[in-house]
Structure 1
Amino acid sequence: MAYIISGVKKKSKVVIGKASIRIPFFERLDKLNLRLIPIDVKTSNAVPTADYININVDATVNVKISNDPEKLRLAAENFLNKNTEYIASVAREVLEGNVREIVGKMRLEEMVSDRQKFANLVKENAEPDLAAMGLDIISFNVQNFVDGNDVIENLGIDNIVKIKKSAAIAKAESERDIKVAQAAADKESNDAAVEAQTEIAKKQNELAIKKSELQMEADTKKAMADAAYEIQKEEQRKTIEVTTANADIAKQEREIELKQKQVAVTEQSLEAEVKKKAEAEKYAAQQRAEAELYQRQKDAEAKQFEAQREAEAQKAQAEAMRFAREQEAAGIRAVGEAEASAIQAKGIAEAEAMEKKAEAYAKYNKAAVAEMMIKVLPDIAGKVAEPLGQIDKITIIGGGEGGSNGVDQIAGNVPVVMAKVFESMKEATGIDLADIINAESYDAKVNRNVNVSGLDSVNFVVKDDGTKVTMAKVEPQNSTKPVSTDVPESGEQG
């Protein structure tokens, strides 16, 4: 960038690449760009050459504002505060005029064959005009010459033919020389190959003879070595067989001893295993029995403890209520105490009853089964009669045999089924429920004689009103002792 300071002095000051001083308000500062300005120069229409052939010229030119002080002042006068596009347009017009001038002075063949000469002539012709504006031409390159009649293309035909002719002649001569040289080389190569193969055949014969001699010598030595090897091998085989036989005998003896020891060890192991297993089963059975006994005791204790805790809790609740209502009448307080005592007594009684029941269950087997079977008899009878309850409507045509009708037959199925149930229970458990039920009959109440078959000697529990409990001794059916029962008097139920 060139800085131009003007104003005070008659001659402006130009500063390039250094510092300077400008007096404000009295001096002015302007700038000029010194960078290259590329310009594409093309003739706007065809230009006739010296031999009257119209062509168009395309060239590329680089110009710039000169660094020379005189030219720089001229550039400042012409292009100060102008942009590069304006400078390029002015220089393009000047260059295009000079191109037209040089094209008119030269022949087409001369321009095409020597583009550098054309470029130099244009440059020399245009430099004074551009210097007068303060510009320098840095480079001028011709890109292309174009004509509309293919004259430039036709100029090269003669040269192309000459070049092709010369190339064909040179190629033929080269191929000839190559073939001659190749034939000579083949002859020399063949002679050398024959001579080499002859020498190879001689050497191979000598080698074969030498191999035969060496092979014969080697076979002789090998036969001697094989014979010695076979002799030594036979001796080693005999030694090995003897040693192997001795080793087999020793091995069999060791195996017999080992098997005897294994049998002894197996017997001891089996004896120890059976003994330990029996002891372990015995110990496990003892532990299970003790655990079951301990569990039953703990369950009874837990139930008793829970009953006591419940009674204590109810008692505490009663006491709290009594404390809350201590201002009420003495009668209400007495009632509360009585209720608390009753609750406590009931809890203790229930605990004792449960404990007695547990002891009773531990003492008898089939009696408990009979009691449970008696309890489920109403459910069984209900299930047997349930199909009759599902009947919405019955239509009976005719009567049954013996004067009975269909309704009697249907209703009579229930007792028959119950009787079959009693028989099945007797066969499965040995308990005759019919005999137990007959205990409530007239014969049982009047004669006080109840015959229950199939039960072992057990203690049979007979309850009356839920609080009084009596014990009856029941003997087996085949016993000579009479069956003893404690049947309550005056209508009490056993």
Structure 2
Amino acid sequence: MFGYRVPAPNEAMLISGGRRGQGGAPFRVVTGHGKFVLPVFRKVRFLTLAMCESEVAEKCVTRQGIVLTVRAVIAFKVGNDTESIVNAGQRFLSDQDQMSVLTGRIFAGHLRSIIGSMTVEEIITERQKLATEVLDTSKAEMAKIGLTVDSLQIQSIDDEGTGYIEAMSAPHKAAIQRQAQIAQAQAAQAAAEAEQESARRQAEYARETAVVQAQYSAEVDRVQAQAAQAGPLAEAHAQQEVLAAKTELAQRAADLRQQQLVAEVVKPAEAEAERIRVLALAEAERMKIQAEAAASHGRVALDQALIEQLPQIVKEAAKGLSGAHVNVLNGTDGLGEVAAGLVGQGLTILDSVRRNLGASESGSGKKLAGGSGEAIKVK
């Protein structure tokens, strides 16, 4: 709109003409909003409220008489209050660049004054103290011209080649170098130890790996050997079982053959021996009876003695056969045959005795005729 003016956010609009401003200022201050300005009758100017910068490079003499070149940077701006804007507007509105020049000169003077009361060591080690003192001493003076300082930074301090700062820093440099060498040696030692530890661990790992591989290889070889031997072992076990079965079969055949031999050879031989023994006993009894009969006076007494002795003869024959191991193969018929055989043997013995007695009857008669005539007494 014609005649309506609005300042930028970082500007202050100064309207001259008409009534005066605050505190009797020759202009009114408008910030943050617009204002209708009558053309021709009013005049508008703008004052920057933005941040400004000023650099200072000043030669200063310390309390020790040593010349130092100090470089600093000051950040400042016009204050936001109306009074500061009015003060700055009256001084710098026509040439706002003069704010940086004037600020640099003000701080250069304060730097020379404060550094002159300090030693080089204090300036080097207490830069923040130097900056704070400069700001404190310049604050009131800067406020008079409507400026406020945001920061002061000491960029560098140079002794102009005198070597004082270098000499002052020599012990510290030596100490730092010594500490650096010690730290480097410690680092080298730590690196060597770490390398040795790493080599040792690698060796242990390699050894453990080799042991595990050897164990795996041995296990694989063992399993392969077992697998390779499984077939022959199974065949050997089978052959062994076959041999054991054949051996058992042969043993059973031998036992059966032995039983057959005992039944066919030993037992008949034992029975024959027993029979011969019984016959021998019967023969001896016969001779005894014959002798007794020869001493008797009659044939009747002799027959009677034989008859009485026949059961004893059969009993002796049966007693002889009782110790023999006879295999009866046909049951009750076999038992009948054995009994009939015993009786037959007794009768055969009796027959034999009678025949023997008949052959010697004549001699016996003579002997009986000359005897005592008593009857034969059989015991």
What TM-score, normalized by structure 2, do the two folds share? 0.50
TM-score by length of 1: 0.39
Tell which structure's C-alpha radius of gyration is larger. 2
